[in-house]
Amino acid sequence: MNRNSVVKSIKDRSFKELCAHVVDDMKRLDVPGVSIAVWHNDTVMSAGLGITSVDHPLPVTADTLFQVGSISKTFTGTMLMQLAEAGKIDLDTPVKSYLPKFKMADSNVTANLTTRHLLTHTGGWMGDYFNDLGNGDEALELMVKSLRTLPQISPLGTLWSYNNAGFNIAGRLIEVLTKQTYEQAAQQMLFNPLKLSKSFFYPNDAILTQRFAVGHQKWQDGVRVANPWAIGRAANAVGGVVSTVNDLMRYAQFHSGNGNAIIERSSLLAMRTAQTSAGGRGDMGITWFIRQHGDVTSYGHGGATKGQKATFRFIPDKQFGIAILTNSDDGGIIGDNAVSNALDIYLGLVSAPVKTVPMNDASMAEYVGEYEYSLSRFAVVASGVGMLIHETPKGGFPKPESPAGPPVPSVRASFIGNDKFVVHDEPRKGEIGDFVRDSNGQIAYLRIGGRANPRIVTTVAQ
C-alpha cells in the first residue's frame, strides 16, 4: 500500500489530516519513509508511510524499526534516576567517586564533574566525539578512556552546549553501578517492565529478523542509502536505541504517569524540572528539552544518526504525545512540521510569529566571522538587514575518520534581540540560535544546532 493509500484508509479525521501533511512533506523533500504515532487521551493512532529503503524497498509500518538516535539519552537519564532512588548514586557527587580512574583533559573537570553535568550538557568540553571500539562488553569502558584528550571549550557548568560524549560517561556509570553491561541494564530496568518489546540495541540478531529502515542522504545525483548503518556499541547510551513509534508512545505514557512501579513519580517530575537554559532550545531538564507553547509545557528530544532523524515530544497535562521516525537526513524538517501541525490539530496550539530586528552592516560587524566545532564549521556574513550562515560539514560520525555528508544549504537569519536570531530557511527553518559573549562582553560562540561553536576568525570573505 503506497503512502497516499495509507492516508485514505485512516478513519480518524485528526490523524488523517496530520498524515496528509506528512505525505506532502515527504514528496517535497524526497524522504523515502516515515513512521508516525500520536497519543491523545486514551487513544494511540499510528501509521507507516513510504518505504524502508530505496535499494530494497518494503512498506514502512508502525512497527518498522528505526534508529531513534539521541532519544536514547532519555533512557540513560531515566536509568540513572532509578539508581539515584535506590541510593546507588547522587547526581551532585563527583563522577570520580564512582569511577576512580576517570580523567579528562581539564583537571577541574576530572575532580568536579557530576552526573548532573552529564545529564544537562554542561560539562563544557568538545562533546561530538564518536568511535566504533568493537562489539565487546568492554566497548564503553574503552570509549570513556578515549575521551581524556577532548579539549575544554568552556569552564565546567558555565555554558549549555550539547555534549554527546557526556553520555558515554553516564552509560559507563550505569555499568559500574549495576555490574551489568549497559544493554543488559536497560533491558532489565526499562525495556522489560515497560513491555517495550520492539526496542533493541545493535548488535542484536532480533533486529535482523524484523522490518527495519535504513538511512538515506540526498546527493546531487539523487537519494542514496547512507552507510554505515551501525553507530558502534560504545554509543548505545548516547544514541543506540532501535525502536518503533508504538513503543515510543508507551514510553511517553510512562513518563507522563506515576512511574509504573519502577520509579517514583517525584523522580519523573524532577527530570522535567528546568536545570539550565538551553538557549533557543528552551530549558534543559534532566535529559528533556522543555518548551513553552503559551501556557502549555512540552517535553521532548530529537535524534539523528547516519541518514535517520527522529522527533519525540509529550505533554503530560494534556495526555498527549507524538513520535516521528524517518529514514532521511531531511526527516528533521518533517518531524518539526508534524509537531507544529499536531499541536494545532489536536490542542489548538499555534506558535506566534517572532518579531525580527533589522540590522545594518555596522551593527552586524561584531557577529561576522567563522565558528568551528568538531563536526561543522560555520561562516557568518552580513546580508541585507540580517545575516547568512554557511555550514561546512567536517565528517567524524560514526568514526573520527568518517567523511563529511552531503553539502548543507546556506540559510538566512534575522535577529530577534539580545544576541538571538531566528533562521528562515530549511533545514533549520524556525530554529532559534544565539551568540554567547565571554566575560569581557565579546562574542565568543555561535550557538546553533545546540552546539556552542567557538569563534575562530573575526572576519570572513564575502
Domain ranges of the chain: 1-352, 361-457
CA 355 to chain centre: 27
pLDDT digits (tens, 9 = 90+) for 199-253: 999 999 889 899 999 999 999 999 999 999 999 999 999 999 999 999 999 999 9
Q: How far is CA 318 from CA 39, 71, 138, in A?
A: 10, 21, 43
- The DSSP 8-state label assigned to residue 357 in this structure reads B
Query: Is it the case that residue 459 has pLDDT exceeding 80?
Result: no
d(CA 305, CA 285): 23
Please, what is the end-to-end C-alpha distance for the chain in angstroms? 50
User: Which of these CATH numbers, 2.40.128, 3.90.550, 3.10.450, 3.40.50, describes 361-457?
Assistant: 2.40.128
Query: Is it the case that residue 386 has pLDDT exceeding 70?
Result: yes
CA 311 to chain centre: 8
Closest to 199 in 3D by CA, of 234, 235, 250, 165: 250
H helices then E strands: how many in the chain?
14, 21
Residue 379: CB partners within 8 Å, gap ≥ 6? 369, 370, 389, 390, 392, 460
462 confidence band (pLDDT: 50, 70, 90): low
Q: How far is CA 431 from CA 230, 288, 371, 447, in A?
A: 29, 18, 18, 11
363-402 residues labelled b (16+ CB within 10 A) or e (exposed): ebeebbbbbbbbbbbbbbbbbeebbbbebeebebbbeeeb
pLDDT digits (tens, 9 = 90+) for 391-444: 999 999 999 999 999 999 999 999 998 899 999 999 999 999 999 999 999 999
User: Which of these CATH numbers, 3.10.20.30, 3.40.710.10, 3.40.1160.10, 3.30.830.10, describes 1-352?
Assistant: 3.40.710.10
Residue 385: CB partners within 8 Å, gap ≥ 6? 358, 359, 360, 414
Query: Is it the case that residue 337 has pLDDT exceeding 70?
Result: yes
HEC string of 418-447? CCEEEECCCCCCCCEEEEEECCCCCEEEEE
Evaluate whether 411 touches 388 at the Cβ level (below 8 Å): yes
Q: Which residue has the cell 513509534?
A: 245
Q: What is the CA radius of gyration of the chain?
A: 21
Task: Provide mean pLDDT across the span 62-69.
Answer: 98
Coil, helix or strand for 256?
Answer: helix
pLDDT digits (tens, 9 = 90+) for 158-212: 999 999 999 999 999 999 999 999 999 999 999 999 999 999 999 998 898 999 9
